[in-house]
Structure 1
Amino acid sequence: MPRDFLKGAADQYDVVVIGSGLAGMTSANILGRAGHRVLLLEQHYKLGGLATWFLRPGGHIFDVSLHGFPHGMIKSCRRYWNRDIADRIVQLKNIRFDNPQFSLTTTFNREDFTRLLTTKFGLQQQTVSDFFDTARGMNFYDDQQLTTKQLFDRFFPGRDDVVRLLMEPITYANGSTLEDPAITYGIVFSNFMSKGVFIYEGGTEDLVARMKKELQANNVDVRIRCGVDRINVRGGQVESVETHGRTIRCRAVVSNANLKTTVLKMLDPNLLDRDFVDRTEDVRLNNSSTQVYMALKAGEQIEESSGDLFFTSTAKEFRTDLLLSRDITSRTFSFYYPRTRPEKKERFAIVSSTNANWSDWADLNETDYDASKQDLIETTLDALEKYLPGIRSKIEWVEAATPRTFNHYTLHEQGASFGTKFEGLGISRELPQQVGGMYHAGSVGIIMSGWLGAINYGVIVSNEVDQQLLRTAASV
């Protein structure tokens, strides 16, 4: 008999959380801690969404997206998860860049970037200071018409090299482009510039295991392999969700699924305002990614001077279209040393990441798809050989992931790695006005991309759900 993944689940909860990305898990944890009855449904067999991992023969573990986040993660994890998790967040201090315009190493914080911009790039101290202050002062309510390119032109006209240094890591981190609103760059950039780039020591599998333990300690009912087919609405209010042939009643739903999937597929669009549906349909998905995972043989090593994060490019100038092109010129290498997982086997691994378009991969037949993945692997190894001569002979396992891979495992539309473009944020925030008790938390509007943004959006939404549950309980 097939396993019943809902065995023992109740027929009714206060809240159903759809999806166990960091926003979904954080919402579930806060609401469970507040005493609400919470059911967390995950369609995959692992928790974490894109913040997950996979195991390969030889004891090799790969993180899908453990590549760095701002210092604010420590505070958020301590407050909304526990100190045990927060205390395992450590700084990455060796961030490297190499491209035709410059080569440098940085600790990736404001002080060191100021030093580099004034000494290596020859900028005036006041100009640099004013730029950092402007970025730090940005918030959600600022002018959305100012683009990131216009922001750079204001402070660094004609300095493509400076733009490359300041922009490339953020584009890698959340898919931001020069054409997007400046606030989508400035807020994320200033978060990183506060104290640098951090990582979770122990690997994603350790983080998610500790989060699951915390969820269960707060009485959250966690269920895997339970995708939601439909969210039912009655009288303008969330009534239930349908999963695995069961209808489970609830007073609120938090969807951590893709925004467009939530509104246009899980809900009945006929129950929503036509203008709201039209605007949702017009929301642009963000780009996807390709990644190449490489594990070294036992006994083989990578020198720590190779860096933690290494932004490389062969393009003569910084252009968004080049970052997304199938003719890859820019790769970001993440180096994993034994200190990444100090309690596991001594292993070294490398993950190469590139931004990518869904359209370049979606319609390939299986033969061409397999050939394209192999080409991605070979060209990545060729690029890596420039920095680590002889690396091919040291690698025991290598494989590639594409936008189709991310779509398959996460169900993100078009394999979107960073949710939707900026206009998605308004749709996400307006959802409770369309359906009472219906909320969305996830990667929207770029600002909310990344690990810290996802967790903090989960915090915002859970507080709103908590207030709604208390109001409706008081009115009964």
Structure 2
Amino acid sequence: MPRDFLQGARDYYDVAVIGSGLAGLTAANVLARQGRSVLLLEQHYKLGGMATWFKRPGGHIFDISLHGFPYGMVKSCRRYWSREIADSIVQLDGVRFDNPMFSLWTSFTRDDFTKQLVEKFKVDPATVDAFFDKARGMNFYDDQQTTTRELFDEFFPGREDVIRLLMEPITYANGSTLEDPAISYGIVFSNFMSKGVFTFQGGTDKLVKQMEDELKKSGVDIRIRCDVEKINVGRDGVESIEVNGRTIRCGAVVSNANLRQTVFKLIGEEKFDRGFIDDARAVRLNNSSTQVYMGLKEDDRLDVSELGDLLFSSTAPTFETEALLSRDITSRTYSFYYPKTRPEGRPRCLVVSSTNARYEDWAGLPEDEYQASKQDLCETTLEALDKYVPNIRERVVHVEASTPRTFQHYTAHLAGASFGTKFEGLAVSRALPEQISGLYHAGSVGIIMSGWLGAMNYGVIVANEVDNLLMSRGSRSTSGFEESVAGEKS
């Protein structure tokens, strides 16, 4: 008999959380701590969403997602998870840029970026301070009309080298482009500019295990391999979910699935107003990425003082969004992992190369072409990496690639979108409970703060809205709370 992954589950929960990305995990934990009965459902066999990992023979453990987030993660983890989790967050040693326009090292703090812009790029100090102050003052509920290009033109007209320095890492971090709203850039940039770039020592495997332990301590009912097929809606709002052939009633649903998937697949457009559906259809998915994972021989060591933790490399003469997404790869971001990354495990050095990519460039390839393209991706990446890690082909013992199809397969995310939706998704996400009482969405939608910190804090905001609904079935404004959470930039 096949295993029943819902064995022992109740017939009713206050809240069903669909998906275990960082937003879903955090929403579940906050709600359970508030005394709510919470069912957390994950279609995969591991929790974490894009914050995940995989193991390969020889002691290699590869993290999938971004190797770096802002200091705000420390405060959010301490407040909404545990001190133990917060205490494992450590600062990266250094970030490098290497492209035809410039080559430099930075600690990725405001002070160091100011010094670089003033001394290396000869920008007026007052202009630099004014730019940082404007970015620092941005919030996700601000004006969305000004584009990132217009923001740069205001402070650094004609300075494509400065734009490249300021823009390239944020494009990698949340997929934003020069054509997107300035707030989708400024919020993320100013978060990182607070105190630098941080990572979780011990890897995502340790992080997710600690989060799982906290969830169980809080009383969350965690169920893996449970793929929700439908959210049932009645006259008064959310009534139940259908999962693994079973109907479970609930007072509210928090969907951590893709926003478009939530609206069009789990609910169905007939349940929404026509204007809302038009807005939902207009929401653009963000881009995906390709990654190449490389494990070095057991006794081979990389030197952090030579390579840093993150390296933004490019052979493109200028910064262009199209070049970043092209199958003809000119820009790669390397994450270097040293024994310090997982001090409790077997000492290994790993390199992960990431490139932004379009799902459609990979989706329709026949299987033989797809496998050949993955192999070519590995080969060209090794060739490019040899500039920074000499003789890399002879030093690696494991190489494999992932594509947008890989991300879609394991996360069930539409088009393998690494960063959810573009900025317009936030308004649609926030409007869901106005359409259907008890229906909420939390995840990566462009401009809460983006990345790990944004997803986590969006989960907190939504959890408090759900708790308010369950307590009063009312609609008391939580805008003050939203602003306090979104304002935690340091």
| Fold match (TM-score > 0.5) | yes
Q: d(CA) in 1 for partners of 2:339 and 2:184?
A: 34
Write out per-residue CA displacement over residues 408-428 of structure 1, whole angstroms, 9 at most, x where no aligned residue: 000111110000011100000
Deviation of 1:7 (Å): 0.7
Write out per-residue CA displacement over residues 74-115 of structure 1, whole angstroms, 9 at most, x where no aligned residue: 000000000000000000131000000000000000000000
Q: d(CA) in 2 for partners of 1:396 and 1:412?
A: 31
The letter of the residue matching 2:393 is: R
Match of 1:322 in 2: 323
Moved over 6 A (4+): none
Match of 1:96 in 2: 96
Quick check: 2:296–2:348 contact (8 Å CA) kept in 1? yes
Write out per-residue CA displacement over residues 52-89 of structure 1, whole angstroms, 9 at most, x where no aligned residue: 00111112100001410000000000000000000000
Match of 1:173 in 2: 173
Q: d(CA) in 2 for partners of 1:199 and 1:143?
A: 31
Quick check: 2:448–2:458 contact (8 Å CA) kept in 1? no
Map residues 229-378 of structure 1 onto 2, 5 A cutoff. Answer: 229-304=229-304, 305-378=306-379
Match of 2:483 in 1: none
Q: d(CA) in 2 for partners of 1:396 and 1:466?
A: 50
Q: d(CA) in 1 for partners of 2:301 and 2:140?
A: 45
Match of 1:136 in 2: 136
Q: d(CA) in 2 for partners of 1:155 and 1:66?
A: 29
Q: What SS is found at the alignment partner of 1:318?
A: coil
Match of 1:153 in 2: 153
Match of 1:204 in 2: 204
Task: Give the TM-score, by structure 1 length.
Answer: 0.98
Q: d(CA) in 1 for partners of 2:215 and 2:131?
A: 41
Q: d(CA) in 1 for partners of 2:141 and 2:332?
A: 34
Task: Please identify, of 47-56 and 138-147, the stretch whose mean Cα deviation from structure 2 is larger.
Answer: 138-147
Q: d(CA) in 1 for partners of 2:251 and 2:159?
A: 54
1:420 aligns with 2:421: yes
Q: d(CA) in 1 for partners of 2:142 and 2:26?
A: 27
Deviation of 1:472 (Å): 3.5
Match of 1:407 in 2: 408
Quick check: 2:183–2:447 contact (8 Å CA) kept in 1? no
Task: Please identify, of 19-28 and 301-310, the stretch whose mean Cα deviation from structure 2 is larger.
Answer: 301-310
The letter of the residue matching 2:358 is: N
Write out per-residue CA displacement over residues 435-471 of structure 1, whole angstroms, 9 at most, x where no aligned residue: 1000000011244420000000000000000111111
Q: d(CA) in 2 for partners of 1:313 and 1:267?
A: 43
Quick check: 1:419–1:449 contact (8 Å CA) kept in 2? no
Quick check: 1:95–1:308 contact (8 Å CA) kept in 2? yes
Q: d(CA) in 2 for partners of 1:446 and 1:360?
A: 26
Aligned sequence identity (%): 68
Q: d(CA) in 2 for partners of 1:451 and 1:140?
A: 16
Match of 1:81 in 2: 81
Map residues 452-463 of structure 1 onto 2, 5 A cutoff. Answer: 452-463=453-464
Q: What SS is found at the alignment partner of 2:378?
A: helix
Q: What SS is found at the alignment partner of 2:377?
A: helix
Task: Give the TM-score, by structure 2 length.
Answer: 0.96
Q: What SS is found at the alignment partner of 1:229?
A: strand
Q: d(CA) in 2 for partners of 1:93 and 1:162?
A: 23
Map residues 186-201 of structure 1 onto 2, 5 A cutoff. Answer: 186-201=186-201
Deviation of 1:140 (Å): 2.4
Deviation of 1:320 (Å): 0.5
The letter of the residue matching 1:364 is: L
Q: d(CA) in 2 for partners of 1:204 and 1:89?
A: 11
The letter of the residue matching 1:350 is: V
Match of 1:41 in 2: 41
Quick check: 1:66–1:200 contact (8 Å CA) kept in 2? no
Write out per-residue CA displacement over residues 130-189 of structure 1, whole angstroms, 9 at most, x where no aligned residue: 000010011223321110001001100110000000000000000000000001100100
Q: d(CA) in 2 for partners of 1:227 and 1:444?
A: 22
Quick check: 1:418–1:446 contact (8 Å CA) kept in 2? no
1:105 aligns with 2:92: no
Q: d(CA) in 1 for partners of 2:388 and 2:300?
A: 16
The letter of the residue matching 2:193 is: M
Task: Please identify, of 231-240 and 326-335, the stretch whose mean Cα deviation from structure 2 is larger.
Answer: 231-240
Q: What SS is found at the alignment partner of 2:184?
A: helix
Q: What SS is found at the alignment partner of 1:361?
A: helix
Quick check: 2:15–2:36 contact (8 Å CA) kept in 1? yes
Deviation of 1:214 (Å): 0.2
- CA 1:194 to 1:456, structure 2 compared with 1: closer, same or farther past 3 Å? same
The letter of the residue matching 1:10 is: R
1:27 aligns with 2:56: no
Quick check: 2:140–2:447 contact (8 Å CA) kept in 1? no
Q: d(CA) in 2 for partners of 1:415 and 1:264?
A: 17
Match of 2:481 in 1: none
- CA 1:362 to 1:60, structure 2 compared with 1: closer, same or farther past 3 Å? same
Task: Please identify, of 223-232 and 133-142, the stretch whose mean Cα deviation from structure 2 is larger.
Answer: 133-142
Task: Please identify, of 222-231 and 296-305, the stretch whose mean Cα deviation from structure 2 is larger.
Answer: 296-305
Q: d(CA) in 1 for partners of 2:110 and 2:268?
A: 47
Match of 2:51 in 1: 51
Q: d(CA) in 2 for partners of 1:190 and 1:115?
A: 16
Q: What SS is found at the alignment partner of 1:326?
A: coil
The letter of the residue matching 1:75 is: K
Match of 1:9 in 2: 9
Q: d(CA) in 1 for partners of 2:29 and 2:109?
A: 31
Q: d(CA) in 1 for partners of 2:424 and 2:141?
A: 13
Q: What SS is found at the alignment partner of 1:298?
A: coil
Quick check: 2:229–2:266 contact (8 Å CA) kept in 1? yes
Q: What SS is found at the alignment partner of 2:334?
A: strand
Q: d(CA) in 1 for partners of 2:194 and 2:301?
A: 32
Match of 2:381 in 1: 380
Q: d(CA) in 2 for partners of 1:78 and 1:420?
A: 28
Q: d(CA) in 2 for partners of 1:472 and 1:310?
A: 50
